[in-house]
Amino acid sequence: MKKLALFFVLVFCLPLFLFGCEKTPEKSFYEIEVTVNEEAMTLSCSEKVCYVNTSNNALNEVDFYLYANSFNEGQKAVSQANFLKAYPNGESFGRIEIHSVFVGQTEVEFLFEEPNKNILIVPLNKQLYPDEKVNISIEFEIFLANINHRLGYGENTINCGNFFPIACVYENGFVKNGFASNGDPFYSDVSDFDVIINYPKDYVVASSGIQENISEGKLRCKGENIRDFCFVLSKKFEVISQKVGDVTVNYYYYDQPNPEKFLQISCEAVKTFSDLFGAYPYKQLSVVKTNFCFGGMEYPNLVMIADDITDEQTINYVIVHEIAHQWWYGMVGNNEFEEAWVDEGLTEYSTALFFEKEQKYGFNYDTVIDNAFSTYKNFVQIYSSILGDVEESMNRDLSEFETEPEYVNCTYTKGMLLFDSLREALGKRKFEKCLKNYLKDYKYKNSSYAKMLESFSKSAGRNLQSLFEAYVEGTVVID
């Protein structure tokens, strides 16, 4: 996600039930059929997951994250500061209703993690051993809130991000992230997706994966090696496209003169980051203008760009930031709830690297870094004068940041400064080798602070712990 406060801001295949999963055992496979009900603003969904136990433990249950419930009454989907941007028509609620869960062909009694139903617990009828797989089928309904957010409908778009139950990552148990009004509370494994979307015929749909029209108002999207699936639809969408190598970059927009320039910078970002980090391995990327209250949001093969940003430079900055997430979040995953800076810091820094190569947009590396320095210093000064002391640790989960400026400065801004210091210490060539190797080490996998430190230290040929720690623990003095 890009918080603007920082800068300026089921094709249900019966044989699958009978003979097990078709896909390779190392990753899960989601088949989802969703019907968009425009009048009721609901999504009626059938999901079948061929879940693979990639852990070393026998499992008695599989847990799923239910982000849709973060829009329910009693939850705080947005902080007070963003309330009016999020709810222009007044507060509105959304949620997920689970109708049934089957394990194989047996219906099971599912449970929720209380009190906010952030987790769906699916008990298995027998233990699932390592490398074994199980089919779990979930019928559910999404009630969309009238909110300019990842999941909800606004004046121009219906945003369907994080709408379906997604398996929690298993570490020493399932990782059960909470909800958070600051930041992206997401963490998932790379999987394959086959999604059918039934939608009103007068809408245009942007989505993750590769689209195939089945009939008017019916679309199939297939995505391999992606860690989530998102789609956005609008009656107003127009779309322009351009190829970068064999990648088709699409720009979905409405009410916008000169859309070509935003397609151009999107293409340049794909090219620049492919050169710097390693190739963008998917066949399409859609940059999608949406009703959204936080600047921008990343999903595999799809990024949302908020339609309330009117300043061209800011739109450019947000587009580049969100596209960098295709590498840091998309290909290389991490627990965004626990260690938000791991992807946000590196993504924000990648934006500086883009503007170092492409200086025609009014930014360059030094202006971006200098701006980060002064933004961070101002934050410390202002917070110190109000609170007497300011918590500067980056090493906090999303619920531990008390305010949005604290989250933004300690995660994005200071994360960017950390990587700037690293490049300063290692030199450009060695630093770029670190980035390329980091992508190779964790492509389609999940990283963490510890894994990132190990990868970078190995590539640099020296232990980088003290440098990382100074920033992450908050002991470095930035002045």
Q: How far is the CB of 413 from Zn ion (least distance, A)?
A: 12
CB closest to Zn ion, residue no: 1
What is the Cα–Cα distance from 361 to 363, expressed in whole angstroms?
6
Show the tokens assigned to 170: 């298993």
Please give the angle made by the CA atoms of 396, 387 and 418, to the nearest 5 degrees: 40
CB of 277 closer than 8 Å to CB of 436: yes
Q: How far is the CB of 183 from Zn ion (least distance, A)?
A: 9
Q: How far is the CB of 220 from Zn ion (least distance, A)?
A: 29
Q: How far is the CB of 1 from Zn ion (least distance, A)?
A: 5
What element of type H or E holds 195? strand 191-198
Q: Which is nearer to Zn ion, 223 or 330 (CB)?
A: 330
Q: Which is nearer to Zn ion, 347 or 375 (CB)?
A: 347
The residues facing 43 across adjacent strands are 36, 142
Q: Which is nearer to Zn ion, 307 or 344 (CB)?
A: 344
Q: Which is nearer to Zn ion, 286 or 347 (CB)?
A: 347
Q: How far is the CB of 78 from Zn ion (least distance, A)?
A: 17
Q: Which is nearer to Zn ion, 224 or 336 (CB)?
A: 336
**Residue 387: exposed, middle, or buried by beta-carbon count in 10 A (0-12, 13-18, 19+)?**
exposed
What is the Cα–Cα distance from 27 to 19, expressed in whole angstroms?
17
Positions that interact with Zn ion (CB under 5 A): 1-2, 344, 347
Q: Which is nearer to Zn ion, 1 or 158 (CB)?
A: 1
**AA letter at 338:** E
Q: How far is the CB of 204 from Zn ion (least distance, A)?
A: 26
**AA letter at 223:** G
CB of 271 closer than 8 Å to CB of 326: no
Show the tokens assigned to 387: 């609170």
CB of 192 closer than 8 Å to CB of 32: no
